[in-house]
Structure 1
């Protein structure tokens, strides 16, 4: 009887093992089923284009630097200022500025591409040594106009204090010394100003609106 029961038990175990093995023999049983996705069609009207970044209005002059700091580059404002010098609305304003340069290749104020308008507020001094210019324009198109209620004393050693191809118009109180004082087409007095001296090495202009 025991032998008969053992035979039945062994047969049952063999049938169970055989059933488990049959499930692992199918190679397709573990493959990921394929999913059909709908075709997406994109038309021109579906594309959203970003608005272009507005280009800032070009400035009256192409480039402007004060003591090597670019205030205008390629006709666009950089948002920088330096030592009492700020540029806005087409005017370089000097407010109680004390500027200097001792590098021959770096004028205190350099610009290109148009007329530089300078407004003086308070007492301003600019000193250039070692062959540096006070104000210099690169290129053939350059003029300067100086106005305001303030004053300017500018000195250059062994070179022109102001070097531009065009005219220097002064409507403020200024005292300029250099060798020469101004290398330009001519120096003229603007409204309310009088030139008291215009020699090779010294230019002095007095304006009635100047703060004394």
Structure 2
């Protein structure tokens, strides 16, 4: 009887050890920050400056793709690494941007950014917080199509490429080993200066947006 009890206890201990061994890696994998990631954000952006840009631009949809490689430091709860952010904002122009009712206007504004920089991530259980900073290119584009009395139709487009800087913070949760959800807050700045431009519409000044988005993260 004693021998059977000993065997039973040994089997129970082995079963518990097996469950712990199976469960532990799953939990650890949820905090594995090291490796390649792809992030797909979607959200809204609103202009903060400069005056002409802020006057024309309403809150607009934006999307993109962020990718990079993180390297664990500090025992695995913290990671840092290079990242590239590709962003595009679909300009939503204010309906009342021009008060002259004699013209039927169609104006489009858009911004494309390609930013390279660094990302810092800290894990808190299955959740994480992050911050990032990058430097790259900011392409602002505009096109217009309007009538100036009768059949006098005017069309055109104009673009300006400049230095771009993006700073951002975020927080998220690792749903599985391979998938996470992140809430992002970004502040992209484009340094445009076209005071001598002869275009009907030109970019001039620091174009600053505030971007709010939700992203799906894939860890590979």
- Which structure would you say has the larger RCO, counting Cα contacts within 8 Å and 6 or more residues apart? 2
The structure having more radius of gyration, on CA atoms, is 1
